Amino acid sequence: MAVIIPTLHGTPARFTGGMTQVAHNTWAWLQPNGDWSESNAGLIAGEGSAALIDTAWDLSLTRRILDAAERVTSAPIEKLIVTHADGDHIYGCQLLPNAQMIAAAEAVREIEEENPRGMQLSHLGCRLLRTVGIGPLRRFGAFVAAMFDPFDFRNITVRMPDTTFRGQMDLDIGGRAIELRHLGPAHTAGDAIVRVADVETVFAGDLVFIGVTPNSWTGPVAGLRRALDAIMRLSPRIVVPGHGPVTDVAGVAELDRYWSWLEREALRLLNAGHSVDETAERIVLGDGFAAEPWGSWSCAERTVLNVVLIDRARRGISTAISHNERARMMWSVSRLHAKLSGKRAKAFSERVP
């Protein structure tokens, strides 16, 4: 049953979370508000068998998902499908040792590169900076530590898939036909969606973010838009995003418009000689951004990551953004977050009589 569950970052919940039935014997685990690592999962049940789609970023949160699954179906989870390799979707996989874990073949190397121990050490270091750092160092530490605070990366062993597929894979889940499709490279190289045809539902993983600024570690934007187009051509009635509330084709189309708009704006500024950081700041702090639907999406500071992606493609770099590069990029993300927070505080003070 869907209930009001708190966000992980302490902000007011914008939508109802928990195990939410989206169709017959089909559920989405929704984690408000879909912000940094507040990720969704899915559950499909058939006759005497069930499949879980993705887990969470630590063991405690994954146990919460599994407890909720037991309350809505008695069918055992025999398949564990992962939509991509990001830790907030796979770090709980070890809790289902008897379920067959399935992923796109292109996700294997990315799963191997995940490092929960490194996450734990980064969290400890940023907590220290938050306490004793000065100026920008303290700002950076506070931002990243707050991102990690809800999660416990101890005792996590990254589990590798038992089965991989290329292109498409068909499964039978207790008499229900389930279709897996690889649509990367886009958010990651190994992005896959799960289509449940009998209820016109697609679990889209992090190809789709709703109400929250998306990001990509691989791209290019053309790849993201191809993946979104592939989802829309399936004409699903229900789309479960990797982050945010349940949506439909219209929500996917709006996300596609976002990527098109952002690429156009970013290239205009980059080609005029602005740096990545300058480009991201001019975009999100400008009046044109606020007038668009995505102007109200949370985590606008991720625009830095997306402009990096666009700039890399502009310069002919086709490789994915490495984990080391991601860590360095968070410095710019934290700076933009601070500027956005300052702008919101200023706007609020100007409204107060």
46-56 mean pLDDT: 97
- Strand 100-104 and strand 77-81: the pairing is parallel
133-162 mean pLDDT: 95
Contact 67, 29 (CB under 8 A): no
Centre a 10 Å sphere on the Cβ of residue 237 and count the other Cβ atoms it contains. Answer: 12
Q: Is 79 helix (H, G, I), strand (E, B) or coil?
A: strand
Q: Is 322 helix (H, G, I), strand (E, B) or coil?
A: coil
**pLDDT grade for 23, boundaries at 50, 70 and 90:** very high
Could you report the per-residue pLDDT of 90-130, keeping only the tens digit for each? Answer: 999 999 999 999 999 999 999 999 999 999 999 999 999 99
Is the pLDDT reported for residue 257 higher than 70? yes
Beta strands in the chain (DSSP E): 2-3, 17-23, 26-30, 41-45, 50-53, 77-81, 100-104, 163-165, 168-173, 176-182, 192-196, 201-209, 238-243
Residues 186 and 190: their CA atoms lie apart, in Å, by 8
Question: Whole-model pTM?
Answer: 0.94
Q: Average per-residue pLDDT in the chain?
A: 94
Is the pLDDT reported for residue 1 higher than 60? no
164-181 mean pLDDT: 97
Q: What is the pLDDT of residue 350?
A: 42
Is the pLDDT reported for residue 168 higher than 70? yes
Q: In this structure, what DSSP letter does residue 77 have? A: E
H/E run at residue 330: helix 323-351
28-34 mean pLDDT: 97
In total, the chain counts a number of residues equal to 353
Domain extent listing, the chain: 2-114+158-348, 117-148
Contact 20, 32 (CB under 8 A): no
5-19 mean pLDDT: 92
In sequence order, the 6+-apart residues with CB closer than 8 A to the CB of 289 are: 283, 295, 300
Could you report the per-residue pLDDT of 233-250, keeping only the tens digit for each? Answer: 999 999 999 999 999 999
Residues 214 and 185: their CA atoms lie apart, in Å, by 15
Q: In this structure, what DSSP letter does residue 296 have? A: G
**pLDDT grade for 224, boundaries at 50, 70 and 90:** very high
- 2-114+158-348: which CATH architecture? 4-Layer Sandwich (3.60)
Tokens 């709006």 belong to residue: 254
Is the pLDDT reported for residue 343 higher than 80? no
Q: What Å distances lie between residue 85 and 56, 90, 111, 126, 206, CA to CA? A: 12, 6, 5, 24, 10
Is the pLDDT reported for residue 349 higher than 70? no
Work out the angle at residue 206's Cα, subtended by the Cα atoms of residues 103 and 177, and round it to the nearest 5 degrees: 50
Q: What is the pLDDT of residue 352?
A: 39
Q: At what angle do helices 303-314 and 276-285 cross, to 10 degrees?
A: 130
**pLDDT grade for 353, boundaries at 50, 70 and 90:** very low
